[in-house]
Structure 1
Amino acid sequence: MTSTVFFSWDQADARRIRRQFLDRPAEPADSAPSTVAAAMLGAHAQILSAAELSLALRIVGATRADVRAALWQERSLIKTFGPRGTVHLLPAADLALWTGALSALPAGPGGQPGDVRMTAEQTDEVVAAIGDALTGAELTVDELTDAIVERTGPWAGERVMEAFQDKWPRWRQATATAAHRGVLCFGENRGRKVTYTNPGVQPSAGPTALAELVERYLYAYGPATPRHFATWLAAPAGWAGALFASLSGAGRIEEVDLEGESAWVVAGDTEVPAEPVRGVRLLPYFDAFAIASQPRARLFPGRAYERALARGQAGNFPVLLVDGEVAGVWHQRRSGKRVAVTVEPLAPLAAPRLRELEEQAARVGEVLEGVAELTVGPVSVGAHA
Structure 2
Amino acid sequence: MPSQRATLTPRIMGRLRLASQGLLGGGFATVADAVRWMTCMQAQDLGSALWAVGQRVPGTAASDVRAALDAGTVVRSWPMRGTLHLLAPEDLRWILGITGERLMKSVAARHRELGITSGDISQCRDIAFKTTEALKAGGAPGASREQLFQAFEDAGQTTKAQRGIHLLGSLCQRAWLVQGPMAGSNGKVGVQQLFVPFDEWIPDSRDLDREEGIAELLFRYVRSHGPATIRDFAWWSQVPLTEARAALHAVKDRLVELEFGSSSYWLSPETAAMLDDAVPGSRPMLALPGFDEFLLGYQDRGLVLAPEHAELVVPGKNGVFKRIMVSGGEVVGTWARTVNGKSVGVAPEPFAGELGPAAERSFQAQGRAYLKFMAA
TM-score where L is the length of structure 2? 0.78
Partner residue, 1:342? 347
2:347 matches 1:308: no
Query: Out of 316, 333, 337, which is 1:332 matched to?
Result: 337
Q: Aligned residue for 2:147?
A: 143
**Root-mean-square deviation (Å):** 3.3
Cα separation, 1, equivalents of 2:334 and 2:372: 20
1:214 counterpart residue number: 218
For 1:292 and 1:265, how far apart are their aligned partners in 2? 14
CA pair 84-95 structure 1, distance change in 2 beyond 3 A: same
- How far the C-alpha of 1:103 sits from its partner, in A, is 2.2
Change (3 A) 1:337 1:53: farther
1:271 maps to what in 2? Answer: 272
3-state SS, counterpart of residue 66 of structure 1: helix
2 CA distance for matches of 1:63 and 1:14?
A: 25
Letter aligned with residue 358 of structure 2? P
CA contact (8 A) 2:38 2:220 kept: no
SS in 1 for 2:370: helix
Higher relative contact order (CA 8 A, sep 6+): 2
Q: In the alignment, residue 22 of structure 2 is paired with which amino acid?
A: F
CA distance in 1, matches of 2:216, 2:234: 15
C-alpha displacement of 1:345: 1.2
Counterpart for residue 14 of structure 2: 13
Q: How does 1:240-319 map to 2 (within 5 A)?
A: 240-252=240-252, 256-263=257-264, 265=266, 271-273=272-274, 274-276=277-279, 277-278=281-282, 279-293=284-298, 295-301=300-306, 303-312=308-317, 316-319=321-324
Contact 1:215–1:266 (CA<8 Å) still a contact in 2? no
Once the two structures are superposed, residues 177-222 of structure 1 have per-residue CA deviations (whole angstroms, 9 ceiling, x without a partner) of 3222322222422526753112324574450333211221122223
Q: SS at 1:224's partner residue? A: coil
Letter in 1 for 2:96: T
Structure 1 residues 340 and 249, CA gap change in structure 2 (3 angstroms): closer
Shift of 1:111: 4.2
Given that 1:284 and 1:317 are in contact with CA atoms closer than 8 Å, whether structure 2 keeps it comes out as yes
Preserved contact between residue 287 and residue 324 of structure 2 (Cα < 8 Å): yes
3-state SS of paired residue (1:355)? helix
Mapped partners of 2:52, 2:94: distance in 1: 22
Q: Which of 15, 30, 33 does residue 32 from structure 1 map onto?
A: 30
CA–CA distance in structure 2, aligned partners of residues 40 and 321 of structure 1: 19
2:291–2:321 Cα contact (<8 Å) kept = yes
Using the alignment, how far apart are the partners of 2:268 and 2:375 within structure 1? 42
For structure 2, which runs of at least 5 residues remain unmatched after alignment? none
Secondary structure of 1:271's partner? helix
C-alpha separation in 2, matches of 1:44 and 1:216: 15
Percent identical pairs in the alignment equals 20
Distance 1:220 1:325, change over 3 A: same
Alignment match, 1:51 = 49
Residue 357 of structure 2 is matched in structure 1 by 351
TM-score by length of 1: 0.77
Alignment coverage as a number of residue pairs:
347
Q: Of residues 169, 189, 210 in structure 1, which corresponds to 2:183?
A: 189
Contact in 2 for aligned 1:252/1:267 (Cα 8 Å): no
Runs of 4+ deviating beyond 6 Å: 266-270
Please tell me whether the aligned partners of residues 308 and 314 of structure 1 are also in contact (alpha carbons under 8 angstroms): no
| C-alpha distance in structure 2 between counterparts of 1:105 and 1:252, whole Å | 25
CA separation of 1:128 and 1:257: change in aligned 2, threshold 3 A:
farther
More helix per residue: 2
Query: By how many angstroms is 1:97 displaced?
Result: 3.6
Q: Which moved more, 1:290-299 or 1:315-324?
A: 290-299
Unaligned runs of 5+ in 1: 371-385
CA 1:64–1:306 in 2, change beyond 3 Å: closer, same or farther? same
User: Kindly tell me: are residues 266 and 350 of structure 1, through their superposed partners in 2, closer, same or farther at Cα, counting changes over 3 Å?
Assistant: closer
Partner of 2:110: 112
Distance, in Å, in 2 between the alignment partners of 1:248 and 1:355 is 43
Matches within 5 A, 1:132-211: 133-134=131-132, 138-145=142-149, 147=151, 154=156, 157-159=157-159, 161-163=160-162, 168-169=163-164, 172-187=165-180, 188-191=182-185, 195-200=194-199, 201=202, 204-207=207-210, 208-211=212-215
SS state at 2:263 partner: strand
Cα offset, 1:337, TM superposition: 7.3
